[in-house]
Amino acid sequence: MKNIVPTIAAIHDISGYGRCSTTVALPILSALGCQVCPLPTAILSNHTGYKDFFFFDYTDYLEEYYKHWEINNFKFDCMYSGFLGSQKQIEIITDIIERMKKNNNTLIVVDPVMGDHGEVYSTYTKELIEKMNELVKHADIITPNLTEVCILLNIKYESTNLSIETLKDYLYKLSTIGPNTVLITGVKTVDNEFVNVCYDKKENKYYKIPYENIDIKYPGTGDLFTSLFVGYLFKGLKLPEAIEKASKFVTLAVKTTSKYDVDINNGVLFELIMKDLFNENNIYNYLVI
């Protein structure tokens, strides 16, 4: 039986307070017409950007939890994973996505969260990075930032602006690891333009999608972007259109939030602009490169 509503297994932590991971993916993807089924990797009182938090690692329960989805024969159109906490967790998830793919041809979207701004997150060991590389091999779509691109390709991160040729080279090399679609987020080009770039291997097409960068770092905006991107893809938008719509919403969310005197840790106030998910502005600025 085919799913009437696209059904998405969201493999993320649940952080009770501080908009990120599951508490972003759920409202955004539901509003865009998808059913979200959380497969929790950890349960936290609030995300780790706060000075104090409770953390419960869910690794040892993942297999048992997922087994019951299999027994019940639940079908997933998509699996979307984000931050992963341990080597064992990545191994279990790699196995789960292989089973999903085999049973239902599920679209596998991996956000290989490992670092930002040239810094590898403190939890990421060499072994963990190797496992993340393994997971990426099984993905259909990956959405790394530049730091993660450098980790995956084993090259040195430099905070210089990049040429389109270099970006195309990175996109191509990442696609040879396995994924059909590679989307590199948040890069600055030699022309001082902020862009997302992507490569569709099947179509052999590269795209550059400019966006307006607002220089305030709210946690969870990466999760917001990828959730929007997946939601718009399932709404039937073309790859570069889904990317452009997603980044426009993130920019608006950041702009809106910056008008208020709120705790940056609590993420962007996307609830204030939900109606903008459906704006009918279909003028796109992306380019084939």
Give the interface with ligand PXL as residue ranges (CB under 6 A): 13, 15, 20-21, 44, 47-49, 83, 219-220, 222-223
- Distance in Å, CB of 49 to ligand PXL, minimum: 4
Residue type, 278: F
Distance between CA atoms of residues 256 and 250, nearest Å = 10
Two structure tokens written together for 15 = 């952080």
- Distance in Å, CB of 220 to ligand PXL, minimum: 5
Q: Which is nearer to ligand PXL, 47 or 208 (CB)?
A: 47
In this structure, how many other beta carbons lie within 10 angstroms of the beta carbon of residue 140?
Answer: 18
In this structure, how many other beta carbons lie within 10 angstroms of the beta carbon of residue 168?
Answer: 15
Two structure tokens written together for 89 = 């967790």
Q: What is the 3-state secondary structure (H, E, C) of 262-280?
A: CCHHHCCCHHHHHHHHHCC
Distance between CA atoms of residues 42 and 97, nearest Å = 18
The total number of residues shown for the chain amounts to: 289
Two structure tokens written together for 37 = 């089924």
Q: Which is nearer to ligand PXL, 28 or 162 (CB)?
A: 28
Q: Which is nearer to ligand PXL, 57 or 91 (CB)?
A: 57
Q: Which is nearer to ligand PXL, 20 or 146 (CB)?
A: 20
- Distance in Å, CB of 283 to ligand PXL, minimum: 30
- Distance in Å, CB of 115 to ligand PXL, minimum: 12
Place of tokens 């998830």: 93
Q: Which is nearer to ligand PXL, 13 or 148 (CB)?
A: 13
- Distance in Å, CB of 241 to ligand PXL, minimum: 25
- Distance in Å, CB of 41 to ligand PXL, minimum: 9
65 φ/ψ angles, rounded to the nearest 5 degrees:
-60, -50
Among the listed residues 109, 94, 80, the one whose alpha carbon sits nearest the alpha carbon of residue 10: 80
Tell me if 123 sits within 8 A of 115, measured CB to CB: no
Residue type, 156: K
Place of tokens 């490569």: 199
CA separation (Å) from 201 to 78, 142, 175?
Answer: 19, 12, 7
- Distance in Å, CB of 85 to ligand PXL, minimum: 8
Q: Which is nearer to ligand PXL, 94 or 227 (CB)?
A: 227
Q: Which is nearer to ligand PXL, 6 or 220 (CB)?
A: 220
